[in-house]
Structures are given as structure tokens and as C-alpha cells.
A and B are shown apart, each in its own frame.
Chain A
Amino acid sequence: MTDTNPERTDGGTVTDDHGHDFPGTGSIKRWFVTTNHKDVGILYIVTSLFFLVLGGVLAWLMRIQLLVPRGPGETILGPLAYNQAVSAHGLLMVFWFLSPFAFGFANYIVPLQMGAKDLAFPRLNALSYWLYLFSGILFGVSFFQGGTFSGGWTMYAPLSVPTFTPDVGASTAVLALVLFVASVTVSSVNFLTTMHRMRAEGLTLRSLPLFSWTILLTVWMMLFAFAALLAALLVLSSDRLLGTTYFAMESPAGALLWTHLFWFFGHPEVYIVFFPALGVMAEVFQTFTGRRIVGRKWFIIAMVLVAIQSFAVWMHHMFLTSINLQVKTLFMITTIGISLPFDLMVFALIYTMLKGKIRFTTPFLFVFGALLLFIIGGITGVFLGAVVLDYEFRGTYWVVAHFHYVMVGGVTALVGGLYYWFPKMTGRMYDEFLGKVHFAIYFVGFNLLYFPLFVAWETPRRVFDYAPELAPWHQLATVGGFVLGLSFLVMFYNLFKSAFVGDPAPDNPWEYAHTAEWAVPSPPPLENFDGTPTYRNGHLEVIEAGEIAPRRDRSDTPAGSSVSADGGIAASSKTAVSTELPTVESTAVEGPSHASIWPFVLSLGAFLVLLGLSPLQEAAFPSGMAGAAYATTAVGGGVVTLGSLVAMGLEPFHGPVFEEGEAWPFSGIDNGKVGMWIFLASDVVLFGGFIGAYVFTRFAFGWTGWEPIPSDPIPGLVNTYILLTSSFTVVLALVAAEKQHKGALVTSLGATFVLGIGFLVNKGLEWQHLFHEGIWLSTNVRSSTFFLTTGLHAAHVIAGLIIALYLTARAWRGAYLEDSRSVEYFGLYWHFVDIVWLFLFPLFYIL
């Protein structure tokens, strides 16, 4: 790339792709190294559709089985295989299809709508995608390890522990989910930083387009909800692989513990999968009615309310457990509370049609159909909110029919979104006639599939033996399932063909579309805008790069913090958050990089680690060749992971330049710092989940009857001293870096590293001692909580030490004196780990 002029990098043009080693879209290599949000978006969409087919085939298998009630010997899938099909179908559809499908659009469209050239951390974005893909592959592998997980997508304990589901594949499926959550966490941090920090000037949150709004709220919910799921999954993995006994049937309230952790995630998840669909509906309704949405402000407020309340309704999934009446009442009230904002949103969409000029294009048909389906799903959901009715509907096809109407209703809207944005993404129009044919078949198939299930609601869920008189309804449903599935063939044919030979699409093929993605060419150039977009005059203008130069000084003036130049590298942790710091100065040397192979390699490494660990039971590999092969895989994967982390750290990578426009509420705080804090907020919930699990278990056990595991608090106290001291040395390191004191910087960082090692050694000795006394992870639930919670903390310490080591080495060679941000961000992480210990110590050692 000859584009070395700093001015030219923003504006530099680009109808075709940038030079410097960034291959064109035709090249296979491009898709492995790309970090561009639009490429990543397309990768997400294509991959998720693949998982749709996989989940769909499993659904077909089930529907065939359900054609008639089957006795024990008369099945097509054996009982266990059927359970696997139900579980894998649910998991695949919810996690590997629905959310990533929506996030394909989010990746592609959101930066365009908000006037950004890319996400804040493009490499992390690629990393999210690759982690997602490899998690899906890992899930696929689980089918071949004696059978995948068979305990339902809700994974209720204790069926989920190896006593009852002993297959290796079941562990692999759980680990695949862990990897998936890692992907989600990385992408939540990335999206939140981007959406809060990088909006074009004049584009306040209030005036953000509705699709972007839904994604923003979705990501907020994801950040916290998936952290709770991660806590649940890590505990479950530990029960499966290491032999802890949180969920064992002997554990006091282990089964309930899972339901709390799972549904605390699970209910927000309902909105996480639905909100993006709502956003698509809002955009498409406006575009094809030609009218602005009615009550936009209230629509947004309603969504915000839902997002907040979604964390306060989880126990409505537990009405039939032993929870008390007060709690039932409370959660019944919050449940009605959360349903009401949806009424408002639905009416807002309906009234938007009035006085419009509605064009029934394919996207509108799908979105309109989605609204119809959603209304049916919503009404039948009110039934479940009435606790007395829920008592009876629980575990029946009423629930199955209801959530398919809602979730697959959401899918319907997203399919509309696919048609809607297809011309933007490919630069070609799809075939309108075939699109309509697809809709017609789809809509008929949908209702033929799911409506009969309401009629046959007395069928218990997850069974294939049901009352014979219900068989006709199930047969209708099966036919509908095939119609629905086959309708997608029309779509695949249409889109595939059109991508190559469709009519060329203009910038804005939809006439009344108003959001910014329609203001740029189809497909948009690599860096989206031909300059810097701004809304300072109330509408989109793209300003030539030179014009805005004076505003640069405004871009980073953090209150009191010491931000200077140079893209450095900071921070990592369990999910490997490293940060690319896009800065003005660095691009003076080089144009934005769009390529990095390391996200791919890193994800491959993580995949191998988890695959290698999957056969563990009671912390031991199986004996023989297989065990050795697995262990080797894990170690090899570990090497690849670490190596690519370091490589990623050292790689000179520059995100596209951005001018700080609207950045509420984080204006003036550097992207890297915002990202770090967002990540830490999710880590708070992760540890919160672990500590919560401990408190809950201990409470069920009898609080005061619970003896702390270490008989002597002194080793813990010593470790408290060590950690506090190491926090202090990190503070000194930052002071040294700011004063540009290389010697002091290296010494302080080195001291931190040594102290951290001291912490681990001391802990190792303590554990050794306990093992000698015969106290092991699986001894009882007290020892399980002790080892696992402090173990998770120790893992955070280890991650911190790896970064500390890296920072020390780089500081030795003179880094961070100009730009101390990496040291600062590492400090934020390290102090957080310290704070966690400040609570673990009293809870596990002295109380």
C-alpha cells in the first residue's frame, strides 16, 4: 500500500481492496486472515446457515419419529439417540444458529449505521468468529465420541453429570459451549466498546437506528447473561472432568443450583435471540411502509425496560420446584411486567403501517409474517405467565409450540433481514419472484408445523410416546416440518444464483430506506465511508479527511489519565482479551491493517485444548493410547494457543483510524480501557456466579454447620499479603512508566511476577497439604467449592502472570515508556483479581 499519508488513510477511497497483503474477496486466504467487519459478518451468516441445516436435519429426524407414538422397541432413533437429537437440536438452533445469524447482520450493518469504519478491535472480532466456528466444530465432534450430550438444551442437573450421562461426547458438548461463550464474551466487549465509543458526530444514542439499538441492548444482555452461563458451564465442566460434586445428586440443592444459574442466563437469552429480529422488523417496516416508526422513543424505552427486567424473571421457569410462594408471586409480577413493553412495541409496528404505502417485497412479507407469528407466540405466552396454568403446561408441547412461535418467528424476521440486506452485501438483487415463493411455502409450512402442536399440547415434551389420539396433529406437524425445511431450498438456490448473476444493486434499492448503510455503494468499500461521516447538521454527511483534522485534539483527552502514542498491546485473561489500540499517530506510519492470521490459529489452539481435555474424568485421562493421544492434543493445543497469543501481541496491527464523535457515556476514555472495564464487569458476574453458587450451596447445607476446608487460615492470610503487595508493585510500575523510568518499571513488573509466583507456590503447598490429608476435589461439596472457586481465581492469577511476563520482557526492551496504557490496563485486571481474593479469603478461610 502506498497510502502512507496520514490524511489519506481515512479518506483514501477504495473501491477495491487495500493493498498491503490484504487479498481480494476471491481469494481463499482472505477469508482466513480478514478482520474486516463486513467479511466477518458474511462468515457469520454463512456458517450459521450451515448450523441451521444441521439443526434442521435433527429436527426432521425427531419429527419422523413423532409421526406415530412409538413403543420401546419401535423407534427409529433409539431412546438415547432421540434425547441427543432433542438436546443437540435445541443447542444448535439457539446457540450456533440463531444468535450468530443475527450477529452476522450486526457485524455487517451496525458499523455502517453508526458511521464507523470497523469495530473497535477488528482482530478480536475475527477471533470471535473463529472461536464460534471452532466451538461448533467441537460440538460436531461430540457426536463421534460415544454420543453427544443428551440432557436437553436446559442441561438440568444431575442428569448432566457423568453418573448419568457418561459419554465423552457429553463433556465435549459442554466444553463446546464454553468455547462458544468465550466467543460471545469477546464479541460483547468489542461491540459495546464500538457502539458506545465510535458513533459518528451527532449520532447520539437517542438517534441510533433501531436495528443498532436492538443490537446494543442485546449485547448488554449478553455481556452479563453469558457470564452467568459461563459460571454454570465451568462448574458443570468441573463436575464432569475433575469430579467436583456441585451438581451430584447428593449435593444439597445441586439440582436447584443449576436451575438458578441456567435460567438467570436463560431468560435474558430469550430476548438475546429475539431482539435483533425486532430490530430487523422495525427497519423493514419503516422502509417498506415509507413511514417513520410510531412512538420511536417509547419503542426504545420499552426495549430498555425489557433488557433490564430480563434479569429479574428467571424463577418463572421454576414455578413447580420447591421455591416459596412469596418468590413465586414476585416472579409472576415481574413476568407480567416484562410482557407489557412488548405490547407497546407490537402496536408501534402495526400503527406504522397506517397511512403508509406498503410494498410487499420479500423482506416485508417475511417481517410482516414474523409479526403475525410473534403475536401468536406472545398471546400463548401470557397463558404461561398465569402460574396456575403454567403448573399444567410445564413440560408439555404448549411450551414447545409457544417458544417455536416466538423464536422461529424471530428467525422469520431475520430471514427477511437476509433478503433486505442481500443487495447491500453482494451488490446484486435477489430474484423477487422466488423470494415470494419462498415466503409462501415457508409461512404455510411454519403454521402447519407449529399450530397443531398447540392443539396437541397435552403431549409431554421430549418424549416420542404419546396418547394415540394426538397422532394426527403430530402427523400434520411433521408434514409442515418438511414443507418449512424444503422452502429453504428455494432460498438457497435464489441467493446463491443471484450472488453471481443477479441484477446489479444500486446504493439504495429500497427507495425509502433511511439508515446509513444505504448511503454507501453496494457492497460498501473496505472502510465504508469515503471520509469521516458526521451528522452534525442533522443528516449524514461524509467529510473529506482533511477538513476534520483540527478536531483531532478533541479525540483523546482523558481526565487525568496518561494516554500517549503508539498502538501497544495490553491485557489478556481467560478469554484472551487483547486490545488493539487504534491511535492517530500510529497510522502516520502505516495504513490500517485488515489482515491477521492469529485469531484463526488461536481459536484452533483453544479447540485442540478443549478437545484434548474432553475425556477427563476425576481429573484423569483414560489409560492407553486414546488417553495419551488426547493428552498430547491438549498440550499441543496449549502451545498453539500461547504462541498465537504472543504472536498476536507482537504483530504490528492497526485498526482503522477513528475520530471520537459521540461517545456517551464513555467519552474521553480510551477504547482499550473501556474494553477492559467492560470485560471486567462480565468477570464480576462470572465470579459472582461462583461465589453465589457457594453461598447458595452453603445456605442449603446449613450455613454455620459448614466448616471451612483449610483448617488453618494462615496460608490464606499470607497469600492475601502477597497479592496486596503485588497490587502495590503494579501501581508502582505504572508510576514508573509514566515517569519514563525504565529501571523502576522493569523492577516493579518483575516483582509483580515474582509475587504472583509466590502466591501460586504457597497455594500449591497448601493444596498439597490438603491432598495429603485426603481432601480432594470430589471429597464433598465443601471441598468442591473450595478447590474450584479458589482454582478459578488461581487461573486468573496464572493468566495475569503470563501477561506480566510478557510486559516485563517488553519493558526490558524499552516498551511502555512512551505509552504506558498496556501497563495500566494490566493493572486494572490484576487489581480486580486482587479484589476477588479479598472476598474469597474470608469466605473460604475464616468464616
Chain B
Amino acid sequence: MVMARGFGSSVPLQSGIVPRGSRAVVFDSIFEVFLLLGTLVGVVVLGYMLYNAYKYRFGSGNGDFDEADRLTVGELPTGGGGGRKLFTSFFMSMVIVVSLISWTYLTLLYVEEGPSAEDSLHVEVEGYQFGWRFTYPNGHTTDGVLRVPADKPVRLTLTSADVFHNFGIPALRVKSDAIPGQETETWFTANETGTYTAQCYELCGAGHSFMSAEVIVMPPDEYEAWYESTNGTQSSENTSAIHSADTNALQPTAPANAGRLTEVVV
């Protein structure tokens, strides 16, 4: 697959006009084009509007409608002329919008296809009120911290233990719903090591504002070492100090919810 070449590499491949590469590259390049064109169209249209509003202001003498043909009370409404211009502009806007969206559709197909299963690390993500649990292929489970190797595509399968959540890592431009009873899939590739934040993007209750997780992108060899050390154990690495502090802080304000929380989660 030609497409798949871009996934692992830290240098984003730009194969022609359709952006390829990590999710961040894809998003940023499309966003940039949209911003540019959007601003351009906006400036032109708004400018044209303002210019004409000024030009034809009352008393400017530019308006040249026939006084005999002016609007009168009680007439049956009809349209004014100018249809050709209307269609020209409509047609132009249509071309812009349709071609822009079609262009992004090709990228959508690429994103939907994702990296091949063999090439990627597969992690299951489960959202719950108010945190994230990650399960690795060897069965190792952690709460609040997701560790992944740099430069390797990561495939996530998401679900929820209670309500509708949405898992997103803004810096890596990846996001997907976590829905109880359903599984959704998404993927990302992190090119730079470091610590990122994942965040919940669907209102899920009192702790929603603080429902985050750490995403630690490690150099591949360090990751391997860490992964070996987990040895398939179930041990939970609960480093999420922020996370537990959050839930504590939430207790007094949401006793009703919190009380039920335990029943629900198990």
C-alpha cells in the first residue's frame, strides 16, 4: 500500500495535493487551506457588502431606481432583476464549496482506512465517570495514563462504562466518541516524544471539566522496555494524581452522583 508509507515516518509525507501523514499533519494542512480561503471569501464578500451599502446609501445619488417603479404598499410581491449576477455568484460559491469538500473527502477515506493492523499498536480505551482506562494487548491496564511509542501508529478502540464520553488528544488531533454498548475506532501517530493531555469532549457529568488523562509518548526502545516490564500483569499504574484530586474535589458538590458512581462503574 502506497498510502501506508506515511504512517510510521516522522517526516510527514505529502503525496501530491491530498494531505497524508499523521492526524496532526492532515488536520493542520486542511485547516490552513480552509482558514485561508475562508478568510479570503469572507473579506471579499463582506467588503463587497460594505462597499455597496456605502455606495448606495440614501442621498448618495448612486441609486437609480425609477421612482415610478418603486415599492408601493399593498402590491403583490415580485422580484427585482439581477438574476444573472445572482447565478454567477451562486455558481462560483458552489464550485468553491464542492471542490473543497471533495478534496477533503479523499483525506477522509485515508483517515478512515487508517494504518494496517500489523503495523500498529492496539489499545482499548474505556471512559468512565470521570476518567480513562487503557488496556494494552498483553492485558495490562492503566488508569489515567496512556503510554505509546513515538512514530508508531496507535489504534484505539473506544467504549464507555457508563455515559457518553468523547476521548480526544488535541495536540495529536485525534478524537472519538466513547459510547456505552458501542465500539468506535480511531488512530493516531505521535511523532514527537513528550507528555500530552487527553480530554473528554462530551458533557458527562459533574467531573467533565477535569476528565483528562496523560498521554506519554516515549522513545520506541524505552517504550519496549516499559512494555516488557508490565509483563501482562493487571497491575494498575495509577499516577494520575490530578485525577484523584479532581474526584475528591467533586464529592461535596455532587454527592448524589458520586454515591451512585460506584454501583454504576462496577
Interface residue stretch chosen among A125-133, A181-189, A295-303, A569-577: A295-303
Assembly CA distance A173 to B74 (angstroms): 45
Tell whether, in the assembled complex, residue A395 and residue B205 are in contact, meaning their CB atoms are under 8 Å apart: no
Interface residue stretch chosen among A32-40, A42-50, A270-278, A373-381: A373-381
A209 at the B interface (CB under 8 A): yes
Tell whether, in the assembled complex, residue B260 and residue A166 are in contact, meaning their CB atoms are under 8 Å apart: yes
Tell whether, in the assembled complex, residue A351 and residue B82 are in contact, meaning their CB atoms are under 8 Å apart: yes
- Say how far B58's CB is from chain A's closest CB, in angstroms: 5
- Say how far A315's CB is from chain B's closest CB, in angstroms: 13
Tell whether, in the assembled complex, residue A83 and residue B58 are in contact, meaning their CB atoms are under 8 Å apart: no
Tell whether, in the assembled complex, residue B254 and residue A376 are in contact, meaning their CB atoms are under 8 Å apart: no
B133 at the A interface (CB under 8 A): no
Tell whether, in the assembled complex, residue A358 and residue B58 are in contact, meaning their CB atoms are under 8 Å apart: yes
Given known A-B contacts A383-B38, A514-B75, A388 and B175 have beta carbons under 8 A apart = no
In the complex, chain B residues 29-60 whose Cβ is within 8 Å of any chain A Cβ: 30-31, 34, 38, 41-42, 45-46, 48-49, 52-53, 56-59
- Chain A residues with CB under 8 Å of B42's CB are 375-376, 379
Assembly CA distance A73 to B205 (angstroms): 16
Tell whether, in the assembled complex, residue A164 and residue B163 are in contact, meaning their CB atoms are under 8 Å apart: yes
Tell whether, in the assembled complex, residue A389 and residue B82 are in contact, meaning their CB atoms are under 8 Å apart: no
Given known A-B contacts A340-B94, A391-B175, A294 and B83 have beta carbons under 8 A apart = yes
Given known A-B contacts A79-B254, A355-B64, A389 and B104 have beta carbons under 8 A apart = yes
B115 at the A interface (CB under 8 A): no
A775 at the B interface (CB under 8 A): no
- Say how far A281's CB is from chain B's closest CB, in angstroms: 13
- Chain A residues with CB under 8 Å of B166's CB are 320, 394-395
Tell whether, in the assembled complex, residue A208 and residue B73 are in contact, meaning their CB atoms are under 8 Å apart: no
How many residues does chain A have at the interface if contact means C-beta atoms less than 8 Å apart? 116
A382 at the B interface (CB under 8 A): yes
- Say how far B199's CB is from chain A's closest CB, in angstroms: 6
- Chain A residues with CB under 8 Å of B204's CB are 159
- Say how far A539's CB is from chain B's closest CB, in angstroms: 5
- Chain A residues with CB under 8 Å of B173's CB are 392
Among A82, A255, A394, the residue within 8 A (CB) of B201 is A394
Among A252, A375, A541, the residue within 8 A (CB) of B181 is A252
Tell whether, in the assembled complex, residue B53 and residue A463 are in contact, meaning their CB atoms are under 8 Å apart: no
Given known A-B contacts A360-B57, A380-B38, A392-B27, A347 and B89 have beta carbons under 8 A apart = yes
- Chain A residues with CB under 8 Å of B46's CB are 372, 375-376
- Chain A residues with CB under 8 Å of B250's CB are 72, 79
Tell whether, in the assembled complex, residue B77 and residue A514 are in contact, meaning their CB atoms are under 8 Å apart: yes
Interface string of B93-113 (1 = CB under 8 A from A): 110011011001101100110
- Say how far B229's CB is from chain A's closest CB, in angstroms: 33
A156 at the B interface (CB under 8 A): yes
Query: What residue in chain A is nearest B256 (Cβ atoms)?
Result: A166
Given known A-B contacts A372-B49, A395-B201, A458-B170, A354 and B93 have beta carbons under 8 A apart = no
A462 at the B interface (CB under 8 A): yes
- Say how far A41's CB is from chain B's closest CB, in angstroms: 20
Assembly CA distance A518 to B183 (angstroms): 59
Tell whether, in the assembled complex, residue B56 and residue A356 are in contact, meaning their CB atoms are under 8 Å apart: yes
Given known A-B contacts A158-B164, A354-B56, A382-B38, A256 and B182 have beta carbons under 8 A apart = yes
Assembly CA distance A396 to B83 (angstroms): 39
A528 at the B interface (CB under 8 A): no
B177 at the A interface (CB under 8 A): yes
Given known A-B contacts A340-B94, A347-B86, A360-B57, A388 and B26 have beta carbons under 8 A apart = yes
Tell whether, in the assembled complex, residue B264 and residue A163 are in contact, meaning their CB atoms are under 8 Å apart: yes
Assembly CA distance A3 to B8 (angstroms): 88
- Chain B residues with CB under 8 Å of A207's CB are 76-78
In the complex, chain B residues 203-226 whose Cβ is within 8 Å of any chain A Cβ: 203-210
Q: Which 3 A-B pairs have the closest CB atoms?
A: A296-B79, A395-B201, A540-B74
A-B contact pairs, 7 of them (CB 8 A): A78-B206, A256-B182, A320-B177, A328-B112, A352-B80, A353-B52, A354-B82
List A residues at the B interface (Cβ < 8 Å).
70-73, 78-83, 86, 150-152, 156-159, 163-167, 202-203, 207-210, 249-256, 286-287, 289-299, 320-322, 325, 328-329, 332, 336, 339-340, 343-344, 346-348, 350-360, 368, 371-372, 375-376, 379-380, 382-383, 385-389, 391-392, 394-396, 458, 460-465, 507-508, 512-516, 518-519, 535, 538-541
Known: A294-B79, A357-B58. 9 other contacts (CB 8 A): A79-B250, A159-B164, A253-B182, A255-B164, A295-B79, A355-B64, A355-B65, A356-B56, A512-B71
